[in-house]
A = this chain, B = another copy of it.
Amino acid sequence: MKRNSRLSLALHTLSHMAGDPDHVRTSVDIADHAGTNPVVVRRVLGRLREAGLLISEKGHAGGWRLARSPNLITLADVYLALDESLVATEKDEHSPTCSVEHALHRRVSSVMKEIEQSLIERLSETTISEVRGE
């Protein structure tokens, strides 16, 4: 499948839930709709549960549903819950680098942090209810 599909899967699923919040969905149903595997669904939605966006219930009539009203869940909430960083963060590994590289890294990192922050701000302007009717 494509890469970086966790955010797509999460947003897609939550958008559908926003349209019918009382409907409890199983990971199998969600996976079928999204064209993926139930374990992958549980993996991704599990992050959203940890972040308090979703509730999952085990057992016979179990499944997934929103933890709060869909107009109180923004795209930023989902993005942050997944710890995604669509903005590639420079992963520093090699400690013993030259001074030029240090200066560069500082400069680029600060720009990337700014950008990431403004991305989050923009995403927080839209709720998962709103996105449906765009």
- Residue numbers of A with Cβ under 8 A of B are 2-4, 7-8, 11-12, 15-16, 19, 33, 35, 75, 86-88, 90-91, 93-94, 98, 100-101, 103-104, 106-108, 111-112, 114-115, 118-119, 122-123, 126, 131-134
User: In the complex, what distance in Å separates the CA atom of A8 from the CA atom of B92?
Assistant: 10
Contact of A12 among B35, B104, B122 (CB under 8 A): B104
A11 to B133, CA, bound (A): 43
This chain's copy number in the assembly: 2
Q: How far is the CB of A1 from chain B (nearest CB, A)?
A: 9
Interface majority SS (helix, strand, loop, mixed), chain A: helix
> 8 A-B residue contacts at CB 8 Å?
A4-B88, A4-B90, A8-B101, A35-B94, A86-B88, A87-B88, A107-B134, A115-B119
Given known contacts A4-B88, A91-B2, A126 and B107 CB-to-CB distance under 8 angstroms: yes
